[in-house]
Amino acid sequence: MDAQAARLEVDRVYREESRRVLATLIRVLGDFDLAEEALHDAFAAAIAQWPRDGVPDNPRAWLVSAGRFKVIDGLRKRARFDASLTEIAERLYAESEDPSMLDDQAVEDDQLRLIFTCCHPTLAADAQIALTLREVCGLTTEEIAHAFLTSPSTIAQRIVRAKAKIRGANIPYQVPARQDLPQRLQTVLHVVYLVFNEGYSASSGAQLTRHDLSSEAIRLGRLLLGLLPEPEAAGLLALMLLHESRRAARASADGDLVLLDDQDRSLWNREQIAEGTVLVQRALSSGRFGAYTLQAAIAAVHAEAATAARTDWAQIVALYDALLDGAPSPVVELNRAAAVAMRDGPAAGLTLIEALLARGDLADYHFAHAAKADLCRRLGRNDEARDAYHRALDHAKQEPERRFLQRRLSALG
């Protein structure tokens, strides 16, 4: 294998396996920072050795073994300045495991351990989510900051503090006992939900979606549902599947955004819709569902409509009413206002959105300004529509969304 082909293979393995390798390294090394150092060193070794020796049969196990021994060598070299590192290095060496034992189930177990460690209740809630998004899924601090509507420096500080807390409190790297799982599940579900959102609608950049992240979130959702078959775990998986079913129709061949009403519904993935519908029905029938299940039910109503014109907007508004009762938020209010506009006309929806913006809520949320602009456009209030489109453009970071908003703005003259 020549150097270029080897580098392409290393890049592929990094995209597909790096977070799994990191999860195992954290278990093996017992330290986040050491594991991240090991991950970097392992891939650097792969770039150097794979062109010469070929790609190993089990790249994941090779990387774990290489990263672990790189850390041990580094600790031994630094031990002459700090004798305590010798003991750590020898312990890590003595606890060596056969790389061939690192099968898919072991890797999945490591990822679950990592998720629940990151979501330990002694950590602040915002730190739990930030740490999991960074360590389990590999989101950058900028991407996490967008999800939190805060600054990258704030997210970086949360992650550093969370790691220090885990070390200082000796938080165990393990899946909680079954009796402790329910109270830990909600934070984990929220983390998976944020990961999926970033994949389904990327916060910035040239691409509308990031299939790697949404696929990872769905995979994690399946793992969690298998571990703890609670209604909200089923509801979240249903929500992700029903949204993901529309991926192929959400962008044109040129990568431009296609709104829900304009999508070619023959491109929707019917297998994902069928699976998601069964899951949401199961969650609803339990009587113990929450916000994720209600959002999944809304997505299911859209999926059931053969055409946009046949969408049951009255049912969708009713579901948003239930969602507002159980999990009120400005974003839910905005989505309900958009549904009201479809049920009762643009003027009714615009009144709700203007009241929401007048409160100061969602002032930096480009979807709120874009929704206002669209309703003003439909009502012929073009000056207000232009102003709202400009405000939306001020805050939109994703290129396909910016192109869509610019086209709408240009069409107004």
Per-residue pLDDT of the chain (413 residues; tens, 9 = 90+): 677 888 889 999 998 899 889 999 898 888 898 899 999 999 999 999 998 888 888 899 999 989 888 887 777 766 665 555 665 555 655 566 655 555 677 777 888 889 889 989 889 988 998 898 899 888 889 888 876 668 999 999 999 999 999 999 988 888 888 777 777 888 889 888 988 988 888 766 677 777 878 888 898 899 889 878 899 999 999 999 999 999 999 999 888 999 999 999 999 999 999 999 999 999 999 999 999 999 999 999 999 999 999 999 999 999 999 999 999 999 999 999 999 999 999 999 999 999 999 999 899 999 999 999 999 999 999 999 999 999 999 999 889 999 999 999 999 98
| pLDDT score, position 264 | 96
Beta carbons of 39 and 22 less than 8 angstroms apart? yes
> CA 5, CA 3: separation in Å to the nearest integer?
6
Question: Cα torsion at 234, 236, 237, 243 (round to 10°)?
Answer: 140
In the block, which residue shows the tokens 């073009």?
A: 382
196-218 burial, b at 16+ Cβ within 10 Å, e below that, comes to bbbbbbbbbeeebbbeebbebbb
> CA 133, CA 265: separation in Å to the nearest integer?
32
Write out the two tokens for 322: 């239930």
Phi, psi of 205 (to 5 degrees): 105, -175
Single-letter amino acid code for the residue at 125: A
Beta carbons of 53 and 71 less than 8 angstroms apart? no
Beta carbons of 25 and 67 less than 8 angstroms apart? yes
Question: Which H or E run contains 93?
Answer: helix 84-94
Cα–Cα nearest to 389, from 401, 365, 373: 373
> CA 311, CA 307: separation in Å to the nearest integer?
7
| pLDDT score, position 270 | 97
Phi, psi of 211 (to 5 degrees): -60, -30
Write out the two tokens for 330: 């400005």
Which residues face 398 on adjacent strands? 205
| pLDDT score, position 413 | 82
> CA 410, CA 41: separation in Å to the nearest integer?
50
Helix (H, G, I), strand (E, B) or coil at 257: strand
Phi, psi of 97 (to 5 degrees): -125, 155
> CA 375, CA 347: separation in Å to the nearest integer?
7
In the block, which residue shows the tokens 């599940």?
A: 185
Write the CB contacts of 266 (distance below 8 Å, at least 6 apart in sequence): none
Q: SS3 helix, strand, coil % of the chain, rounded to 5?
A: 75, 0, 25
CA 217 to chain centre: 6
Go through the chain and tell me how many residues it has.
413
